[in-house]
Amino acid sequence: MPMSHLQPNSSLAIAASEAAPPEFSKAERLLLLRLAHDSIISVFECRAISFDPPTPHLAELRGAFTSLHLHGELRGCVGYFLPASSVYQAVAETARAAAFSDNRFPPVTRDEAPHLEIELSILSVPQPIQAEGVEVGRHGLLISQHGRRGLLLPQVPVERKWDRITFLEQTCLKAGLPPDAWRKGAKIQAFTAEIFSDQSS
């Protein structure tokens, strides 16, 4: 399945700290978090929600991941890596998919829905990078070669205490490539993620 489509990912359980000033204002963060919750609740209420972005900023094409937690445990995580739709639509769709289409978990129930804690990761557009330019804690990685692609989000090496070389090797392994493929012509792309949640917004 192309990575621009909905992808389960369990690596969003721990958020990396943001070194740069936030791109999204407090009002935008709250709006996106409310949208994520509403997109889940709307399924139980059998009602449609609008995907029309309320501002030009939220209409920008971005990748996004939604992570759901219940009582401190991961309950679902799905995302778009490539910028296939607006931030606003991506959040709505990935929240709903994390609740009902992450096949690692049973669908969220109506009783669980009001108690979900939501974490959003809004991704920058991936750009080519040299291996020596990769910064642990700042960059996520996409490594591709021979039709295989592996993705790891910025918080993964921080959580697992990896250095830069290990991060590159593990991303290659995620793609099903040899761990040294990054030294042997594999394409390396980096991106950043702005991460916020019900607790941090």
DSSP strands (E only) in the chain: 7-8, 61-70, 73-86, 117-123, 127-128, 140-145, 148-152, 187-191, 193-197
Q: Give the percent of the chain with pLDDT over 70.
A: 90
Per the structure, the count of domains in the chain is 2
Confidence at 199, pLDDT banded by 50, 70, 90: confident
Q: Higher confidence at residue 74 or residue 18?
A: 74
- What domain range includes position 176? 127-191
Answer yes or no: is 98 within a domain.
yes
Question: How large is the greatest C-alpha to C-alpha distance in the chain, in angstroms?
Answer: 52
Answer yes or no: is 1 within a domain.
no
Same domain, 47 and 139: no
Same domain, 45 and 84: yes
Same domain, 113 and 164: no
**What CATH number is associated with residue 38?**
3.30.700.20
pLDDT digits (tens, 9 = 90+) for 110-157: 999 999 999 999 999 889 999 999 999 999 999 999 999 998 988 889
The Cβ of residue 180 has, within 10 Å, a number of other Cβ atoms equal to: 12
pLDDT digits (tens, 9 = 90+) for 18-59: 456 789 999 999 999 999 999 999 999 999 999 999 999 999
Give the angle subtended at the CA of 82 by the CAs of 130 and 36, to the nearest 5°.
130
Distance CA 194, CA 154 (A): 10
